[in-house]
């Protein structure tokens, strides 16, 4: 079948370079991906940096909470050696650095990492960057935190939003998260939740379905046949090749 689903690189091409780093994003661009998924949160001094965990312990040679470190302190950490010696000295990038690297070469799914019941400071900083660069048609913002999405929608009605979830949503949450307060453009479920009934529900809510993290070719084909809009994967080159086959 001809490929119609969009393929996004999960944290960049994280199998060939350390996740959420400029080399991983550059490798994904070289693969010709439709988009890149990445994670962002604020440093202590209010700069959006690109890292998945709320601490630096897993991804770097440092320790501590991202929110307790300044951007300069985060930039001095080694985020590459844990992956391979060739990446020693690779740093945690800022979101602006990623925007500079990507330019207009692909779409971006920016996941805001936040547990703040008031939505977090990331929303304001992210919106300023999107407005400054006029990235409305290129960026979709997702989060597991509905308060972050509510804040973003309130601040900027034009922004494309995606509701992230990894478990079945009970009816009251399904109605609330697709209702007029958030008005998401997309739902971002774990791929195991996606079936024909899920696709029907998403369609009734006028939401595209962008699913994660799909690394198996047969599963990717199943999801493509169901009509998902986007597959987020650790193996973008593999899935692009498989789904391009007739």
d(CA 236, CA 221): 13
Q: Catalytic one among 52, 82, 165, 190? A: 52
Residue from 102, 51, 98 nearest 77 by CA: 51
d(CA 13, CA 30): 10
d(CA 49, CA 121): 13
Sequence-ordered list of residues with C-beta below 8 angstroms from that of 197, at least 6 positions apart, any chain: none
User: Do residues 155 and 130 touch, judged by C-beta distance below 8 A?
Assistant: no
> Could you count the other beta carbons within 10 Å of the beta carbon of residue 21?
26
Burial class (CB in 10 A: 0-12, 13-18, 19+), 77: buried
Convert 214-236 to b/e letters by CB count within 10 Å (16 or more is b).
bbeeebbbebbeeebbbbbbbbb
Both tokens of 9, joined, read 């690189």
Annotation says 190 is catalytic: no
Active-site annotation, residues: 10, 52
């Amino acid at each position: 079948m001809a490929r119609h689903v969009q393929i996004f690189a999960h944290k960049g091409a994280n199998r060939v370079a350390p996740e959420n780093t400029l080399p991983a994003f550059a490798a994904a661009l070289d693969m010709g991906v439709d988009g890149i998924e990445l994670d962002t949160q604020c440093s202590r001094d209010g700069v959006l940096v690109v890292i998945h965990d709320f601490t630096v312990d897993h991804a770097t040679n440092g320790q501590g909470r991202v929110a307790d470190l300044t951007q300069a302190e985060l930039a001095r950490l080694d985020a590459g050696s844990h992956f391979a010696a060739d990446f020693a000295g690779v740093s945690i990038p800022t979101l602006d650095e990623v925007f500079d690297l990507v330019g207009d070469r692909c779409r971006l799914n920016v996941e805001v990492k936040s547990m703040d019941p008031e939505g977090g400071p990331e929303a304001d900083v992210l919106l300023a960057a999107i407005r400054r660069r006029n990235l409305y048609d290129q960026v979709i913002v997702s989060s597991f935190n509905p308060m972050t999405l509510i804040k973003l929608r309130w601040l900027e009605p034009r922004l494309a939003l995606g509701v992230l979830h990894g478990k079945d949503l009970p009816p009251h949450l399904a109605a609330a998260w697709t209702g007029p307060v958030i008005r998401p453009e997309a739902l971002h479920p774990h791929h195991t939740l996606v079936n024909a009934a899920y696709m029907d529900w998403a369609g009734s809510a006028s939401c595209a379905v962008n699913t994660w993290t799909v690394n198996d070719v047969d599963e990717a084909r199943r999801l493509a046949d169901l009509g998902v809009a986007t597959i987020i994967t650790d193996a973008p080159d593999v899935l692009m090749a498989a789904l391009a086959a007739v």
